[in-house]
Amino acid sequence: MIKKALISAAGRGTRMLDLAKDKPKHLIEVNNKPFLYYLLSNLKKAGFTEIVMVVGYKKEFMEKFFKSHEDEFNITLVNQFEILGDERYGTACPLECVRDIIGQNNFLSVYGDNLYSVEDLKSFNLDDDFSYIAGLPHLEPQNYGVLQVGEDDFLKKIIEKPKEFYGNLINTGLYKFSPEVFNYLNKITLSPRGEYELTDVINLMAKENKIKVRDLRGIWLDFGKPTDIPKVEQYLNSYDKKNN
């Protein structure tokens, strides 16, 4: 059974505008608790009890948050800016920072501004030699990375924000990785937007049939912009009513 989960949360959260001006967006409150609290709670309920969190922007606020919740969550904080500097950027960078901590273990990987159901998180506790990516049908796939699926659920490719229609199954940022993923980090180069992209790593793995696609069954909530806050509130309120 996998115990380790990586949370990537070093970004500045510019899409949250002034709400993230003086703290990481992951700590913006929803129903009187930081959004990050709900992600951590769901990970814990799903059995991921060893959290490695990569931080950077306003890290002192993260340190304060974790100190106040150290009795609830077992968390190792890693400062991306200290390891890589603040100019090397991209979704692949957190993996560079945790190679030694993760070691030869399988691990879950999520972003700190995404929320998934406990059931879906549990379904990604797959302690085998493959890596997995979570897909979800979406009405506007052109705004996301679209997953091309081949035989036996192997990922063929991720196509980022396609202008043509390639299907409606999108990447939701939930992954289970084998330690083999670290072998691909030094094989990618800067993307056209000047970042080191995790999707480039995944596409290299896909060429060698190293990664499979699993569909989400429950919710996926993105916490990237102010209009996402009431959506998360609505979900949490309905969840509480359902379970009380």
Q: Where are the domains of the chain?
A: 4-135+171-242
CB count in 10 Å sphere of residue 124: 22
Stretches in the chain below the pLDDT threshold 70: 240-244
Amino acid identity of 224? G
> What per-residue confidence (pLDDT) applies to 242?
62
> What per-residue confidence (pLDDT) applies to 240?
60
Integer Cα distance of 83 and 97 in angstroms:
7
Contact 54, 94 (CB under 8 A): yes
Integer Cα distance of 233 and 155 in angstroms:
33
Chain centroid to Cα 195, Å, comes to 17
> What per-residue confidence (pLDDT) applies to 21?
85
Q: Considering only CA atoms, which of 122, 218, 126, 119 is closest in space to residue 177?
A: 126
Integer Cα distance of 159 and 147 in angstroms:
7
Q: Which residue matches tokens 């302690």? A: 127
> What per-residue confidence (pLDDT) applies to 10?
93
Integer Cα distance of 238 and 182 in angstroms:
39
Chain centroid to Cα 54, Å, comes to 11
Q: Considering only CA atoms, which of 25, 20, 31, 17 is closest in space to residue 234?
A: 31
Integer Cα distance of 129 and 148 in angstroms:
21
Pair of tokens at residue 203? 């596409």
Superfamily of domain 4-135+171-242: Spore Coat Polysaccharide Biosynthesis Protein SpsA; Chain A (3.90.550.10)
Q: What is the bridge-based pairing of β-strands 220-222 and 4-9?
A: unpaired
